């Protein structure tokens, strides 16, 4: 196995490793450390069955089933399908997912540790994903802002995501009342400590974070907007250009991401994603 950085900002490519095959404990630990350091890991030229995708993902923790149950791979509820492909007129996955900056499942009491996306079909030169290094975003803040933020909490709410990022776009069936009832608003620290690297990272995102706890509404909005703009500056962001056979493993505890929708319905895009359970942010 060879692990090499792919940009000065974040990310590393892992080569000479077939993740379809079982990994020993040493390899898993090496990948876990690299993920915590680099925020995302890229594996090229992979070929995975659903069983192999799930088996690889489970080496890093238990898997969560996405709350949007209509987009799970039949027979494999651990795999969330992101796709614009239709078969017999019916979508095989969720179209237009993630076209806003977010960290997966930040609206849960125990958000996702990481996500593992496998590209089966991609439109050539389109459908990239942007990633932001939230370690660096925090570290670049002036000391007085770090001091202001250190004890603050923010609310994350899937209903807010549904209302502001999903509803009305015609790409995804609205979440049901039952689904929204399973995901009540939660509070998380604005600055969280990564449990493995022990580094601090910003933990707010435009897609799911609604307001700061105990801060006046107008001030909360201004502070969050400033943090959101700061976190996606060029100093902290890199772009992954997908190829069929890519597997990208990103750490939701120290990064956020945004999918770019620059392709149309005739450009087939089919991705499988597993989501690894995490712990309570601190």
| Angstrom distance (rounded) from CA 4 to CA 41 | 10
Distance from the Cα of residue 172 to its chain's centroid: 18
| 191 pLDDT higher than 70 | yes
CA-closest candidate to residue 245, choices 20, 48, 81, 46 = 46
Residue 110: which pLDDT band, with cuts at 50, 70 and 90? very high
Contact 245, 44 (CB under 8 A): yes
pLDDT, tens only, 150-187: 999 999 999 999 888 776 555 566 677 887 888 999 99
| 101 pLDDT higher than 90 | yes
- The pLDDT assigned to 254 comes to 98
Contact 119, 243 (CB under 8 A): yes
CB atoms within 10 A of CB 106: 26
Catalytic residue among 37, 66, 104, 136: 104
Distances from the Cα of 192 to the Cα of 122, 138, 163, 239, 278, angstroms: 34, 10, 26, 24, 13
For domain 2-276, the CATH architecture is: 4-Layer Sandwich (3.60)
pLDDT, tens only, 4-13: 999 999 999 9
Residue 67 DSSP code: S
Catalytic residue among 102, 136, 156, 192: 102
Contact 215, 152 (CB under 8 A): yes
- Confirm whether 32 is a catalytic residue: no
Alpha helices in the chain (DSSP H): 25-38, 50-58, 134-139, 143-149, 158-161, 177-181, 217-231
| 130 pLDDT higher than 70 | yes
Contact 93, 158 (CB under 8 A): no
| 141 pLDDT higher than 70 | yes
- Confirm whether 70 is a catalytic residue: no
- Confirm whether 37 is a catalytic residue: no
Residue 67: which pLDDT band, with cuts at 50, 70 and 90? confident
pLDDT, tens only, 217-266: 999 999 999 999 999 999 999 999 999 999 999 999 999 999 999 998 88
- The pLDDT assigned to 199 comes to 98
Catalytic residue among 32, 94, 211, 273: 273
- The pLDDT assigned to 274 comes to 98
| 131 pLDDT higher than 60 | yes
CA-closest candidate to residue 276, choices 102, 99, 53, 68 = 53
Rounded-to-5 percentages of helix, strand, coil across the chain? 25, 30, 45
Distances from the Cα of 118 to the Cα of 216, 249, 278, angstroms: 42, 9, 20
- Confirm whether 44 is a catalytic residue: no
- The pLDDT assigned to 179 comes to 79
Mean per-residue pLDDT over the chain, rounded: 95
Catalytic residue among 32, 94, 257, 269: 257
């Amino acid at each position: 196995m060879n692990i090499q950085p792919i940009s000065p900002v974040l990310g590393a490519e892992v080569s000479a490793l077939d993740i379809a095959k079982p990994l020993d404990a040493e390899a898993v630990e090496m990948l876990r450390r690299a993920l915590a350091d680099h925020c995302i890991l890229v594996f090229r030229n992979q070929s995975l069955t659903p069983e192999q995708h799930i088996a690889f993902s489970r080496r890093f923790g238990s898997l969560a089933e996405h709350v949007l149950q209509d987009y799970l791979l039949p027979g494999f509820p651990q795999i969330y399908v992101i796709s614009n492909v239709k078969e017999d007129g019916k979508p095989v996955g969720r179209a237009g997912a993630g076209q806003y900056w977010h960290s997966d499942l930040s609206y849960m009491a125990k958000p996702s540790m990481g996500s593992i996306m496998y590209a089966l079909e991609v439109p050539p030169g389109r459908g990239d994903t942007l990633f932001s290094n939230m370690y660096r975003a925090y570290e670049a803040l002036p000391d007085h802002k770090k001091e202001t933020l250190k004890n603050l909490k923010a609310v994350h709410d899937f209903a807010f995501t549904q209302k502001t990022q999903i509803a009305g776009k015609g790409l995804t069936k609205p979440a049901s009342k039952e689904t929204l009832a399973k995901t009540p608003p939660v509070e998380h620290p604005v600055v969280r400590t990564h449990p493995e690297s022990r580094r601090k990272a910003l933990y707010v995102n435009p897609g799911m974070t609604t307001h700061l706890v105990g801060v006046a509404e107008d001030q909360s909005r201004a502070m969050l907007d400033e943090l959101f703009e700061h976190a996606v500056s060029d100093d902290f962001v890199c772009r992954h250009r997908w190829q069929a056979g890519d597997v990208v493993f990103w750490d939701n505890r120290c990064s956020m991401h945004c999918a770019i929708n620059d392709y149309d319905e005739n450009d087939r895009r089919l991705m499988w994603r597993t989501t690894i359970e995490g712990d309570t942010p601190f």
